[in-house]
Structure 1
Amino acid sequence: MGRLFWKILLTFWLTLLVAGGVTGIAVWLHHSALQDIEKDVVIRPSSVLAVKAAANTFLYGGTAAMRNMLQEQRDEAPQGLQIYAVDPNGKELLERTVSDDTLQRVRASLGKNLKLPIVRQVQTGAESYLLFAPLAGQYPQFQQERRLPPPHRISTPTLIISGITASFLSSFLLAWYFSQPIGILRKAFHAAAKGDLSQRVTSTMGSRRDEIADLGRDFDDMATKLQTLMESQRRLLHDVSHELRSPLARLQASIGLAHQQPEKVASSLARIEHEAGRLDTLVGEVLTLSRLESGTPQPLDEYIDILELADAVIDDARFEANALSRHMVFQCDVEDSPIIQGHGELLYRALENVVRNAIHHTPENTAVTLAIHQNTAASRLYLTVDDQGSGVPEAELGSIFEPFQRSSNASTSRNGYGLGLAIARRAIESHGGTIRAKNLSSGGLRVEISLPLSGNV
């Protein structure tokens, strides 16, 4: 058992013991007071009602009315319950006899705050009376019957031991209920600190529906995300090392060829320059992707005219498309230039990567279409890029936005590393947007980008 368990156990146990002790003392004092007064006063529901009736009669009708009530009570039921009214001088209203010892104990009971109103002191003006039903002289049944349960039916040590045992068991169960899931969480955190992110705690907590269970679910979510991130980082490291191996091997081969065949130094240098450029491009894209995936917030403090951004992308893409015997088509049904708040360079890279990817996948003598639409009601801007290639298998539509993922339909001669769409997705999501791909019924692939307009980022 941990320290928290003992703290909870002792705290609740001592609290229950103190509360039980105080309650027991209060009950014992009240019971003792009733035992003292029951020697002189009738303690029954009927006596409580009769005393209350006499008090109300005196308060609302005066002494004469109460005298008449008590007189009728004695005449009609001489052997029944009788209420006495005694003034401060010890004289009973109907001149019935009451012993001085009885009066002394009855007056003393007024200061003991008895819960049952079997004795009442009433006063109006200068007149004051003590109302009660004395046991002496009453009908014999009141003297023979016991009005309170006999004391000490259960011995005091037995009661104390039972109370201590019950309070300990309840405190033990409560402490275990709170500390047991915390122990499970502690073991899970300890395992996570050692690198084991497969630990999950929700299933071991049972059917709990409290804040500790919520903490367990949050731990599971955290562990799942960390595990996914670690696996993604390991996969990225593996893919980067794999992609670096080929150009580095070609660099080494070119250097070796230059040493062995000095007459081919020029061609070897050209190959070295080409491979160095590819390495530079790969490292740049990896750094960009790493920066976007690091979770570091990008400054989104620029106001970007999306039409100007699209024109810049199309101008650059058209040059590359013409060299590959493709051409660009631009469609726009937006009247006013929509403004997007964000990071201009990231948005440019995202849109450029999508367009360049479409150019390299559409066949020769076909077009890539960039279209812009605006949904004013939803304050969203939609950009679609369509090519006329072979599309992507449905099972791969979601994975093409992952790093180093290429479609199985892609040409093996295609230069690239599978990072362009991954960078585009991270850049779009950092602006509060979404990006998705779908195959067109007419053939080809459509990539749809949704961005919030200025003020909705």
Structure 2
Amino acid sequence: MTGRRLFAKILLGFLCTFLLITQGVWALFSLRDRKSPPESAVAVMIGPTLVNMAGRAVETNGVAGFAALEKNLSPEQRHRLRLVPASQEGPVPPVSTQTQLVRPVKAPGGKAYNVHFDRSLDKGWRLNIPPELLVIGFVAGMVFSALLATYLLRPIGHLRNGFARLARGELDVRVGSAMGRRRDEIADLALDFDQMAARLKQLVSRRTQLLHDVSHELRSPLARLQVALALARQGGERQQASMDRMEREVERMNELIGELLTLSRAEGGTVGVDEYFDLFGILESVVEDVRYEAAPTDVTVALRVSNGADEDLPPIRGSSELVRRAVENILRNALRFSAGGDVIEVEARWSSRNGAFTIVVRDSGPGVADDAIDTIFEPFVHGVGGGLGLGLAIASRAIAAHGGTVAGRNREPHGFEVTMVLPARD
């Protein structure tokens, strides 16, 4: 049914285009060649002359004279001129009407005739196109529409089948290979479908892994809570220590749930689109907080802002809390890896060329294994300083929710660098 609808639309479009082109060409040549009026107009203009000539021919030579005159006329003039016996018309008609010229005549034998000339311009084919050409156009349109519909429906069928399989949960389905050697928009759509399917598979896998990791993270404190609860019930000297243990485990679970809620909010792109804030102002506030935390360890946090003092910087649109959490998590991760006397460098700059803010955080810690750099921004990756493994994941998702990017790399000879790019949107 879909194929028939598409075929009918293509055929109708082809025929409409065909008629418009033919009529347009006819109108164009008619306007360009005004000095040569159409043959029908010429025939109307010389109608009275032809009637008089035909009348004299009949009066001189009868029907034979009229036939001899017709042989010398054009088909258009011959079609309009007629000789009718008066006995077949009854009363003699008026000499002329709006669309007819009539002249009563008598042949040499005395027989009466009427010479008729049709001067109507509405006779003949109204579309100014030969019927044969219209038939050829219709047949060509049928063939062209059938071939085009087949050419379009075959890849569309592969795409529909792919969507149906994807809806059934077959995340491994791909349709790009079924496009063959096509290099058009439909082939690009198939590639986009494959990328979408791969992304869906990745997201589902991540969700499954996230549920597994959450259950694992919750199982450990719950197990310790059960042990502490059993010891508390026994009373004695261990009761207070058991209560302290339960309090710590409850706090850990509460922290985990809070981090998961923040991660879910960041991944869902839930940002306050009506909130505008100063990114450099938030950065300065976060740096001050981290400096306070770094004071006991003798770690210096140095902030350098470029291109910010002399420019009217645009505000950031989104959630200031999410952005603050992202910068704070990255700075605290750098602080966790820094030893006494180290310097954490924070560089912030605005680029009017690409309309984006860039924040770079550099530490002098041991860095990250090269094969683990791509995974440190995933949830529950504990190779970045203990904790819940959600800090960098929240930072990555929060920046991505604002249209930005986060990337990390090792420094030489040691240390780690995280670069955040955040566009300023209108």
Bin the TM-score by the shorter chain.
Answer: 0.5 to 0.7
Aligned residues: 332
Q: Distance in 2 between matches of 1:310 and 1:354?
A: 12
Encode CA deviations 1:179-220: one digit per residue, 9 max, x unaligned.
333332222122111111222223213234555445434433
User: 2:406–2:420: 8 Å Cα contact kept in structure 1?
Assistant: yes
Match of 2:3 in 1: 5
Encode CA deviations 1:130-173: one digit per residue, 9 max, x unaligned.
xxxxxxxxxxxxxxxxxxxxxxxxxxxxxxxxx99999877655
Q: What is the SS of the residue equivalent to 1:295?
A: coil
Match of 1:271 in 2: 245
Gaps of 5+ in 1: 18-54, 56-85, 92-97, 114-162
Match of 1:110 in 2: 76
Q: 1:384 offset after TM fit, Å?
A: 2.2
Seen in structure 2, the aligned counterparts of structure 1 residues 90 and 393 have a Cα distance that, compared at 3 Å, is: farther
Counterpart mapping for 1:274-313 below 5 A: 274-304=248-278, 306-307=280-281, 309-313=282-286
Residue identity in the other structure for 1:361? F
Encode CA deviations 1:102-153: one digit per residue, 9 max, x unaligned.
544665832588xxxxxxxxxxxxxxxxxxxxxxxxxxxxxxxxxxxxxxxx
Q: Distance in 2 between matches of 1:8 and 1:310?
A: 57
1:198 to 160, 163, 172: 172
Residue identity in the other structure for 1:263? E
Across the aligned residues of Structure 1 and Structure 2, the Cα RMSD in angstroms comes to 4.1
Seen in structure 2, the aligned counterparts of structure 1 residues 275 and 319 have a Cα distance that, compared at 3 Å, is: farther
User: 1:433–1:449: 8 Å Cα contact kept in structure 2?
Assistant: yes
Match of 1:176 in 2: 150
Counterpart mapping for 1:213-362 below 5 A: 213-260=187-234, 262-304=236-278, 306-307=280-281, 309-324=282-297, 326-333=299-306, 334-335=308-309, 340-342=315-317, 343-362=319-338
Please give the TM-score of this superposition, normalised by the length of structure 2.
0.65
Q: Distance in 2 between matches of 1:299 and 1:164?
A: 55
Seen in structure 2, the aligned counterparts of structure 1 residues 108 and 261 have a Cα distance that, compared at 3 Å, is: same
2:372 to 393, 396, 403: 396
Residue identity in the other structure for 2:368? V
Q: Distance in 2 between matches of 1:106 and 1:252?
A: 120
User: 1:185–1:201: 8 Å Cα contact kept in structure 2?
Assistant: yes
Residue identity in the other structure for 1:246? S
Seen in structure 2, the aligned counterparts of structure 1 residues 12 and 452 have a Cα distance that, compared at 3 Å, is: closer
Q: Distance in 2 between matches of 1:391 and 1:193?
A: 43
User: 2:294–2:335: 8 Å Cα contact kept in structure 1?
Assistant: yes
Q: Distance in 2 between matches of 1:9 and 1:402?
A: 49
Q: Distance in 1 between matches of 2:336 and 2:263?
A: 21
Residue identity in the other structure for 1:328? V
Q: Distance in 2 between matches of 1:174 and 1:429?
A: 42
Residue identity in the other structure for 1:436? A
Q: Distance in 2 between matches of 1:376 and 1:215?
A: 34
Q: 1:403 offset after TM fit, Å?
A: 1.8
Residue identity in the other structure for 1:310? L
2:399 to 428, 433, 438: 428
Match of 2:410 in 1: 439
Q: 1:339 offset after TM fit, Å?
A: 5.8
User: 1:340–1:452: 8 Å Cα contact kept in structure 2?
Assistant: no
Q: 1:89 offset after TM fit, Å?
A: 5.4
User: 1:300–1:341: 8 Å Cα contact kept in structure 2?
Assistant: no
Residue identity in the other structure for 2:286? V
User: 1:332–1:371: 8 Å Cα contact kept in structure 2?
Assistant: yes
Seen in structure 2, the aligned counterparts of structure 1 residues 375 and 213 have a Cα distance that, compared at 3 Å, is: closer
Counterpart mapping for 1:370-409 below 5 A: 370-375=346-351, 378-407=354-383
Q: Distance in 2 between matches of 1:13 and 1:306?
A: 61
User: 1:397–1:437: 8 Å Cα contact kept in structure 2?
Assistant: yes
Q: 1:394 offset after TM fit, Å?
A: 2.6
Q: Distance in 2 between matches of 1:244 and 1:315?
A: 33
Q: Distance in 2 between matches of 1:8 and 1:348?
A: 53
Q: 1:268 offset after TM fit, Å?
A: 1.0
Seen in structure 2, the aligned counterparts of structure 1 residues 174 and 372 have a Cα distance that, compared at 3 Å, is: closer
Gaps of 5+ in 2: 16-41, 43-51, 58-63, 80-136
Q: Distance in 2 between matches of 1:418 and 1:16?
A: 62
Seen in structure 2, the aligned counterparts of structure 1 residues 253 and 435 have a Cα distance that, compared at 3 Å, is: same
Residue identity (%):
37
